[in-house]
Amino acid sequence: MNEKFPDQGNDPLLSTHEPRPLGSAEVPSAPATMTEVSGTGPHVASASSRAGASLPSLRVVAHTLASQDYIGVLVVTVILVLIIGVVHPRFLAFGQLTDVLNQATFVAILACGMAFLLAMRELDLSVGSVYGLTAICAALLMHSGVPSWLSALAGLVIGAALGLSNGLLIQLFRLPSIIATLATLSIFRGLTFAVSSGNEIAGPALTDSFARFVGGHLLGIPTNVWVLVLVVAALTLVLLATPFVPSDLTPTLQSSVACLSGGSDCSPSC
């Protein structure tokens, strides 16, 4: 105990440590500063590692999107729409875009059904003729006094029967789908002209409930577009969540995808 500082005897902290020399160059705050610096080091390293890990993931996502087959068509379509919008500004108006989308819904629904055929490496060239024949038959039923909703349902049944005839023709006679549907394309188109006598068949009256539904709007968007969204969602769920494609065709589909993507393991049949 130091006689000049009698209070040190009552301080347990000072009584347990030796007094430091006056000439010591040690800075008391240095260890704390080093501790703080060393404490922030792992946080900086982890932040930099997370940033470095996010960059490869972004590259993977960008590469995945760029490798899709539809990206080229999508980019060209967007560029074409922007060019037309610059030349004709009214083309990008909301009403104009909804009208274009409304007219494209029927073809888009046909494309949804075609996706199932392409998944099995098949093709249907008669889909347009089937669409025309079913529409003519439904319109003729409406003009004959059949309720519009029942006529539309009958048109769907007729379309299903025509598609079934294509399938039976291909399976029973072992014909390639492109050859069989090329023949039925001409047959169904001829039936369309024969049934309608080459005349245009008008649709139901604008006051009809079916016409109001087809030509109506929901939240400012045509009803046909909402129907298209539901059809796309339902068929996507059926295609991805169910074994629609036979399991024995899976290796064939994989080899076809590899061939179309430029793989080295292409078979001559591709």
Q: What is the model's pLDDT at position 31?
A: 47
Q: What is the model's pLDDT at position 35?
A: 43
Lowest-pLDDT range, 45-49, 85-89, 126-130?
45-49
Residue spans of the domains in the chain: they are 57-97
Lowest-pLDDT range, 88-92, 132-136, 144-148, 244-248?
244-248
pLDDT over 50 at 14, yes or no? no
Average pLDDT on 240-250 reads 62
- Residue 37 · residue 43 · CB < 8 Å: no
Q: What is the model's pLDDT at position 119?
A: 80
Which is more confidently placed, 204 or 163? Answer: 163
Average pLDDT on 243-265 reads 51
In this structure, the number of other CB atoms found within 10 A of the CB of residue 218 comes to 9
Q: Tell me: the pLDDT tens digits for 91-128?
A: 888 888 888 888 888 889 888 888 888 888 888 899 99
Question: pLDDT confidence of 209, banded at 50, 70, 90?
Answer: confident
Mean pLDDT of the chain: 75
Average pLDDT on 172-181 reads 89
